[in-house]
Amino acid sequence: MQLKIETLSKTGGRKANEDACGYCTIAEITCCILSDGLGGHEGGATASRLSVEHVLEAFKKFPQCSIDNIKSLMCVGNDAVLNGQINNPRLSSMRTTAVILMIDSKQNKACWGNIGDSRLYCFRNGRVLQQTKDHSVSQMMVDAGYLKPEMIRSAPGRNQLYAAMGDNSRFEYETISEPFTVCEGDVFLLCSDGLWEHVEENEMERLLQNANSASDWLKMLEAEVLKCENVGQDNYSAVIVWCVDSDEATKIIADN
């Protein structure tokens, strides 16, 4: 299996981009991370950058696709933000969300974890198969039955988080319970709330079924976000991982 990866991170209607994302591949193991910073433009941007940089550096030193390693990388990201607060007290309130995905393309397995309201989706045959849960007040209301799931995007206080990197009293991340078996044709999407709040899951599926590649789908998703036309529109970021078999990947390269 081979992975085709596309990334996007835009300011939207804001003055600065507090999102950050990146990925790294060592042999057959790939690590992707996306973070959405909180705490003001400078603080949010610093927090997300620190989490991405330090997580990827730690992965390079220990490139293993396992749930334990996801947990370790979550702690690395949190420590990086906490140390950043110590080194610059002016940024003591900075926090960031994070979603981390690792895929072993030789063993065909994936592990992931998240904190905050940046999400991971896994699509199979064009449909959502897996989706992370937000660590937000509105998600708690959905879980408790006080709010319908379809209302989560418009609920009052939707942006109120109860967990984030950079706050040890609320450092409550989650990981998948066991390694996930990846199939050829699976597609992963890591995204900040600036993207998913404007593109509902059924629309993600519809666009994916009409896309021929990761880059095609990413352009379609961004077009949906840009329909918002809201001056206060949030930053929006995404990492797409397109899982293809080796023969198909070779054909794509030859055709290009």
Chain segment 89-100, per-residue pLDDT in tens: 999 999 999 999
Predicted confidence at residue 217, as pLDDT, reads 98
Q: pTM of the full predicted structure?
A: 0.93
Domain boundaries, the chain: 2-255
Beta bridge partners of 26: 29
Q: Which residue has the tokens 């941007």?
A: 45
In this predicted structure, the answer to whether residue 256 has a pLDDT above a threshold of 50 is: no
State the pLDDT at residue 232.
Answer: 62
Instruction: Please compute the mean of the pLDDT values over residues 213-239 and round it to a whole number.
Output: 89
Residue 159 banded pLDDT, cuts 50, 70, 90: confident
Fold of 2-255: Phosphatase 2c; domain 1 (3.60.40)
CA 67 to chain centre: 16
DSSP label at residue 161 = B
How sure is the predictor about 107, in pLDDT bands with cuts at 50, 70 and 90? Answer: very high
* Distance separating alpha carbons of residues 106 and 121, to the nearest angstrom: 21
pLDDT interval class at 253 (50, 70, 90): very low
Rounded to an integer, the average pLDDT of 120-125 is 98
Instruction: Give me the helices (H) in the chain, please.
Output: 41-61, 67-87, 137-143, 193-196, 201-209, 214-226, 246-255
According to the model, what pLDDT value does residue 40 have? 64
Assign residue 192 a region (left: φ > 0; alpha: ψ between -120 and 50; beta: otherwise).
Answer: beta
Task: Quickly count: other Cβ atoms within 10 Å of residue 229's Cβ.
Answer: 7
% of the chain with per-residue pLDDT over 70 = 93
Residue 254 CB coordination number (10 Å): 7
CB atoms within 10 A of CB 155: 18
Q: What is the mean pLDDT of residues 104-125?
A: 97
CA distance 80 to 98: 13
pLDDT digits (tens, 9 = 90+) for 181-219: 999 999 999 999 999 999 999 999 999 999 999 999 999
What spatial distance separates the first Cα and last Cα of the chain, rounded to whole Å? 19
